[in-house]
Amino acid sequence: MSELRDLYQEVILDHGKSPRNFGKLESKTADAHGHNPLCGDTITIYLELDKDVIKDISFEGRGCAISLASASLMTGLLKGKNMDDAQVLFAHFHKLVSDSNKTMSVNIPTDDLQKLDVLAGVRDYPMRVKCATLAWHTFNAALQNNTEEVTTE
Ligand code: ZN
């Protein structure tokens, strides 16, 4: 179980066990559904947009600790951000989990970078990358008002 030991760091376990921002958002202005058939993770992202600011964000879903922790960390990170900042974070996260030559982006606050780094370990486990990116792709779909279910396949 050394893979799990490496991967399921304390923060991931904590967020996976008690996800933040979990539940339906009654004030939502957009939502999107996502599905990772490889692992069986499903997620719904709820967004409340105020012009271009993410006033509130929450999620509901079922899945492995990685998918829940990623959604939990992501929603905490995105709350209060504007759409441009959110796109920068999404791009950085995507690079972080898919490319071992990570470059620091000057436009992201250190606090946020540290939160994103928590999940960077998944890049060594291609199956788990999909668990970690599901929430982000689904968030992106909600942002684009895409009502089709997002799938990692
Ligand atoms: Zn999963």
Q: Is 123 helix (H, G, I), strand (E, B) or coil?
A: helix
Q: How far is the CA of 56 from the centre of ligand 1 (A)?
A: 25
Give yes or no for residue 4 having a pLDDT over 80: no
Q: How far is the CA of 115 from the centre of ligand 1 (A)?
A: 19
Predicted confidence (pLDDT) per residue in 68-119, tens digit: 999 999 999 999 999 999 999 998 888 888 775 656 556 788 888 877 877 7
Q: How far is the CA of 20 from the centre of ligand 1 (A)?
A: 17
Q: How far is the CA of 130 from the centre of ligand 1 (A)?
A: 7
**Domains observed in the chain:** 2-146 (3.90.1010.10)
Predicted confidence (pLDDT) per residue in 20-47, tens digit: 999 999 999 999 999 999 999 999 999 9
Those residues with Cβ within 8 angstroms of residue 123's Cβ, 6 or more apart along the chain or in another chain = 96, 97, 98, 99, 100, 129
Predicted confidence (pLDDT) per residue in 110-152, tens digit: 888 877 877 777 777 778 899 999 999 999 999 988 878 899 8
Q: How far is the CA of 139 from the centre of ligand 1 (A)?
A: 17
